[in-house]
């Protein structure tokens, strides 16, 4: 059974991208099933240069892999073309042979971005990346969206929609005191970019299923993470798409029968970007400074897309248990084990919550309940040794081994791979 799923099981930025990049070696196709360019994966190329991917799947730097942007995603043509150009500048050439975009993926139009901007200046402000993601998914649900298929099928319709929607949003912008958008200039630029993507657009569900029938292997790559899932996350501090295994089936058009491996990625440093409850959040400035790291380093705790400093906290296994329950996670990947000593001589791990006098082993299902909960911690000793060159689990300091084993025992899912540094080779694979 040939589909492997890789998903984030915390609040995003777990390091899914570099593991998806590593797993791409063993798969023929890497397919993104949800979200837009609001997330950011960082992969480090063999020559040491780092490479930020926002919508392009993580197989893009692998010559053997076909990359699919599935129907569950949303596409901003301008941003995607910038990403494609950036990749080619780094020596990664992209054409119809290694990139396909679903004709059913929805297009983020200029007015979607404007609607996000308008929301951010108003009282319903949510601290979004202003990428137009929520408005485009809202249009999809309203059945008034425009899909990639329009590019090859009816470009005049796209021109009309783009221009008329900008005119509409300009009225709202005037009322809100925002600059108006130049209709002709923005429409021209948008259409020029959309047309460039026409050659990649195809029926990716059919393509994927044909390849699966031939025995080829697909890596389904999720963006964002469990707690940001539109249904299962801490609504309303969530994203607008399905970030769980369920999103693979709807977002790629492949059956559950093909899925044989679900890998959940969690990071030893719990991080979060944006608003929302964070029960294990750390406020101690000294600890935060160590955990944020040097901002010029690839593995610092700042957003890949936003550059914002992430909120940081203690590892929350109660929340991870909920993610693993919903995803049916069979294997856990733990990243940033090399950062655990930054917490201090000991590290706290949240193993459950207490809410209204009751103990909870699994974190609650709503943001307000998380807010009312007190995390229950176990304290473990850390280690001071640099572990970034270690490749065998048995060579880790005993405290580091105990830390990993404690996690496995608590969540009852094996930790099969461990990140000990941001580079591709800085991984312990347990057999």
Task: Tell me the catalytic residues.
Answer: 13, 41
Nearest-CA neighbor of 337 among 417, 257, 431, 430?
A: 417
Judged by CB under 6 A, the residue of 272, 322, 336, 342 near ligand GDP is 336
Q: Is 59 in the site for ligand GDP (CB under 6 A)?
A: no
* CA–CA–CA angle 250, 256, 260 (5° rounding): 130
Q: Is 17 in the site for ligand GDP (CB under 6 A)?
A: yes
The answer to whether 134 and 128 have CB atoms below 8 angstroms apart is: yes
Q: Is 244 in the site for ligand GDP (CB under 6 A)?
A: no
| Cβ neighbours, 10 Å, residue 236 | 10
* Phi, psi values for residue 430, rounded to 5°: -100, 135
Give the residue with the Cβ less far from ligand GDP, 135 or 264: 264
Residue with tokens 């990664």, as numbered in its chain? 92
Q: Could you tell me the smallest distance in angstroms from the CB atom of residue 73 to ligand GDP?
A: 15
Q: Following DSSP, what letter does each residue of 381-412 receive, concatenated?
A: E---S--TT--SGGGS-HHHHHHHHHHHHHHT
Give the residue with the Cβ less far from ligand GDP, 258 or 310: 310
Binding to ligand GDP (CB under 6 A) within 393-412 occurs at: none
Rounded CA separation 399/420 (Å) = 15
Q: Is 338 in the site for ligand GDP (CB under 6 A)?
A: yes
Q: Is 340 in the site for ligand GDP (CB under 6 A)?
A: no
Task: Mark the segment that binds ligand GDP (CB under 6 A) among 102-110, 116-124, 331-339, 409-417.
Answer: 331-339
Q: Is 39 in the site for ligand GDP (CB under 6 A)?
A: yes
Q: Is 8 in the site for ligand GDP (CB under 6 A)?
A: yes
Nearest-CA neighbor of 107 among 65, 64, 152, 173?
A: 152
* Phi, psi values for residue 91, rounded to 5°: 90, 10
Give the residue with the Cβ less far from ligand GDP, 280 or 335: 335
Q: Could you tell me the smallest distance in angstroms from the CB atom of residue 2 to ligand GDP?
A: 23
Binding to ligand GDP (CB under 6 A) within 263-292 occurs at: none
Instruction: Compute the CA torsion angle 29, 34, 37, 40 (nearest 10 deg).
Output: -70
Rounded CA separation 297/279 (Å) = 27
Task: Mark the segment that binds ligand GDP (CB under 6 A) among 14-22, 115-123, 240-248, 365-373.
Answer: 14-22
Rounded CA separation 142/147 (Å) = 13
- For residue 405, give Cα distances in angstroms to 97, 176, 219, 292, 380: 43, 54, 27, 25, 12
Task: Mark the segment that binds ligand GDP (CB under 6 A) among 10-18, 159-167, 255-263, 276-284.
Answer: 10-18
Give the residue with the Cβ less far from ligand GDP, 158 or 337: 337
Chain residue at closest Cβ approach to ligand GDP: 419
Structure tokens at 395: 């060579």
Helix (H) / strand (E) element for 282: namely none
Nearest-CA neighbor of 252 among 414, 33, 22, 26?
A: 33
Binding to ligand GDP (CB under 6 A) within 163-202 occurs at: none
Give the residue with the Cβ less far from ligand GDP, 333 or 370: 333
Q: Could you tell me the smallest distance in angstroms from the CB atom of residue 57 to ligand GDP?
A: 12
Q: Is 419 in the site for ligand GDP (CB under 6 A)?
A: yes
- For residue 66, give Cα distances in angstroms to 62, 337, 339, 359: 9, 31, 34, 47
Q: Is 13 in the site for ligand GDP (CB under 6 A)?
A: yes
Q: Could you tell me the smallest distance in angstroms from the CB atom of residue 19 to ligand GDP?
A: 8
- From residue 297 to residue 326, the character string flagging contacts with ligand GDP as x (rule: CB under 6 A) and all else as - is -xx----x----------------------
Give the residue with the Cβ less far from ligand GDP, 28 or 338: 338
Residues binding ligand GDP (CB under 6 A):
8, 13-18, 39-42, 298-299, 304, 335-336, 338-339, 419-422
């Amino acid at each position: 059974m040939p589909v492997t799923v890789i998903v984030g099981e915390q609040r995003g930025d777990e390091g899914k991208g570099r593991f998806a990049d590593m797993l791409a070696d063993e798969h023929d196709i890497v397919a993104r099933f949800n979200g837009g360019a609001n997330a950011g994966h960082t992969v480090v190329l063999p020559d040491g240069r780092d490479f930020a991917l926002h919508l392009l799947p993580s197989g893009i730097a692998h010559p053997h892999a076909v990359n699919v942007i599935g129907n569950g995603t949303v596409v901003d043509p301008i941003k995607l073309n910038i990403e494609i150009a950036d990749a080619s500048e780094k020596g990664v050439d992209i054409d119809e042979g290694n990139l396909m975009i679903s004709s059913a993926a929805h297009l983020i139009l200029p007015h979607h971005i404007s609607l996000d901007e308008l929301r951010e200046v108003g009282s319903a402000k949510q601290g979004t990346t202003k990428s137009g993601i929520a408005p485009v998914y809202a249009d999809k649900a309203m059945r008034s969206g425009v899909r990639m298929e329009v590019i090859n099928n009816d470009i005049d319709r796209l021109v009309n929609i783009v221009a008329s929607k900008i005119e509409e949003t300009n009225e709202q912008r005037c009322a809100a005191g925002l600059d108006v958008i130049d209709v002709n200039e923005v429409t021209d630029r948008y259409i020029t970019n959309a047309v460039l993507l026409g050659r990649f657009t195809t029926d990716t569900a059919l393509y994927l299923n044909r390849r699966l029938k031939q025995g080829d292997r697909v890596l389904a790559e999720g963006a964002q993470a469990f707690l940001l899932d539109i249904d299962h996350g801490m609504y309303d501090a969530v994203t607008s798409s399905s970030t769980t295994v369920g999103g693979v089936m709807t977002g790629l058009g492949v059956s559950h029968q093909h899925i044989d491996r679900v890998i959940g990625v969690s990071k030893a440093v719990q991080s979060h970007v944006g608003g929302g409850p964070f029960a294990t959040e750390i406020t101690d400035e000294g600890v935060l400074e160590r955990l944020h790291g040097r901002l010029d380093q690839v593995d610092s705790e700042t957003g890949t897309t936003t550059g914002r400093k992430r909120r940081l906290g203690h590892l929350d296994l109660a929340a991870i248990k909920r993610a693993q329950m919903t995803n049916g996670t069979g294997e856990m990947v733990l990243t940033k084990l090399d950062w655990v000593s930054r917490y201090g001589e000991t590290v706290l791990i949240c193993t459950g919550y207490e809410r209204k006098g009751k103990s909870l082993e699994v974190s609650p299902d709503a943001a307000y309940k998380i807010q009312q909960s007190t995390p229950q911690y176990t304290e473990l000793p850390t280690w001071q040794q640099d572990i970034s060159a270690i490749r065998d689990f048995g060579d880790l300091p005993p405290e580091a081994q105990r830390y990993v084993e404690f996690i496995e025992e608590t969540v009852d899912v094996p930790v099969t791979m461990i990140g000990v540094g941001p580079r591709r080779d800085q991984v312990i694979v347990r057999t």
